[in-house]
Every structure is written in structure tokens, then in C-alpha cells.
Structure 1
């Protein structure tokens, strides 16, 4: 598989993250702007291997003042190698609130499997965000708040 490290993203990582993100790389300017903003604000962590960036994860605190994994993206070539799991674990370990939420579409079966393997619990379903594809919400609860172990 090859080793990789998880570290805090810097502003200089933004262009490489655009290349990792299939939506941003496909020309979505809003996603590109979000990636730049997340990097600038220190909200993203990245997985980096010898070949470069493999994926990233973003945690924000705008969901009822609780942590929320806004984005988890793994490069297609790096999927199935534990990158997503390590990024989710880093997000949970660095979360500054007792609860960490995320969501995914009902159609995203691979993300649902990853969340369940990583210890997340389904907590709700929301219709109306994406027509015909409800959003499933998940929770990973912690006993205490963490200090940021991500360098």
C-alpha cells in the first residue's frame, strides 16, 4: 500500500488539493474556492504519501456549534487503501466538541460503509437537499474534547 502521513493542510496545498478533488478538478469553481478557503483557515487535514497528496478532510463548527466533517475526499487512485479512515480518525481526534457529525447521500454506499467501519452511528435522514437522493447524517461521539494532534 505504501505509507502516508496525515498533517494539517497549508495554503500552499490548495492547488494540489484541487487536483485530488474530482469535483474541483472537473472545473467546479465553487469547490475550488472552498478548498482555498479551508486551507487558508486551517480547517483541512491532508493525507500525503511519497507520490503527493492522497486526500483531505475538513472539519467545521457551524452545525449547531458541533464539529461537522464538511468534506472527505480521497483521490480515486488512493481509494481502498485506508486513507479515508485515517482522515476520519484524525478529524475525530482533533474535534474540539463532544460530538462530530457528517452526512452523505443515500446513494453513496462506499461512504456509508466507511463511516460504519470507523465507528460512526446513523442519526437521521434529510430529504430535499439533492432531489431523489436523501442525505444520511452520522455521529461520532466522544467523552471529552481533544487537543489537536494533527501537525
Structure 2
């Protein structure tokens, strides 16, 4: 059984723990907390615990931008990222949705392609030698 919820502050520690598992620190704790407070963080739970989350905003040229999709490493390849994306598409406050990933992140590129996103451009110089690919989908 999978459930998707708008995250609450009481979920913060569990969500930050997932992020820490992936990036090795809790350096995004304030960012995640702010997203939860602003109701821009969606979490996904299996029958046992939180397994992932998505954070978005609408400051990308007044369009929705999925800024972060994180799934616990032990729970990847089980459709959780797709569930988060599908749910976000159903509630998106704008018709245009953008996101991005590094050129080196082949797994995330596949997730975007499998979910109907198309490449919309590149941004150089964010990470040295690893351009950011912008993805787009219209609802």
C-alpha cells in the first residue's frame, strides 16, 4: 500500500533522513523545512515508512518546477518517483512543468523520459563539466 501526502513538519526528520542517505549530509534541512511549511513538499510512504519525496516551486518563469525528487536508495526502481511525478502533475498549479538533472544522472533522465518529459535545454556552469539538462512537460 502506497500513500502520497503533503508533508507536515512532524515528517521533517524522516524526510531529512532520506535526503541524508542520498547526499551524505543534512545540509538541505532548512530548505526542506521551508518547503514543508509552504506546502510544497509531497512525500510517499509504503506500508512501513517514508520512501521518498518531491519538492516543487512556481518561480521558474511562473511555471511549476520540480526542484527535488529523492527516493531512498534501497527503494529505487519500484515506481516511487513515477508515483510522485504523477501525483504532482495532477495537482500542479500551472500547466507547464519543468525540472532538471545533471547530464551524468542517467537514471533520472530515464525517469523523466518514461514520464513524458522532453528535453528543453541545458544550463552550463552549475557543476563543472556536468551540464544541467532542463526537462519539460505540459499538462
The verdict on a shared fold, with TM-score over 0.5 as the criterion, is yes
Given that 2:16 and 2:26 are in contact with CA atoms closer than 8 Å, whether structure 1 keeps it comes out as no
Q: What CA RMSD, in Å, does the superposition of the two structures yield over aligned residues?
A: 1.4
How many residues align? The count is 139
Q: Which runs of 5+ in 1 are unaligned?
A: 143-151
Q: Find the counterpart in structure 2 of residue 79 from structure 1.
A: 76
Spell out structure 1 runs of 4+ moving beyond 3 A: 22-25
Given that 1:19 and 1:25 are in contact with CA atoms closer than 8 Å, whether structure 2 keeps it comes out as no
Task: Determine if the alignment matches structure 1 residue 58 to structure 2 residue 48.
Answer: no
Distance 2:126 2:35 in 1: 22
Give 1:96 deviation, angstroms: 0.9
Give 1:27 deviation, angstroms: 2.4
Q: Which runs of 5+ in 2 are unaligned?
A: none
**Higher relative contact order (Cα pairs below 8 Å, separated by 6+ residues):** 1
> Which secondary structure state, in structure 2, belongs to the residue aligned with residue 21 of structure 1?
helix
Give 1:23 deviation, angstroms: 6.1
TM-score (norm 1): 0.87
Give 1:18 deviation, angstroms: 0.6
Q: Find the counterpart in structure 2 of residue 22 from structure 1.
A: 20
Given that 1:20 and 1:75 are in contact with CA atoms closer than 8 Å, whether structure 2 keeps it comes out as yes
Distance 2:78 2:124 in 1: 32
Given that 2:122 and 2:133 are in contact with CA atoms closer than 8 Å, whether structure 1 keeps it comes out as yes
TM-score (norm 2): 0.95
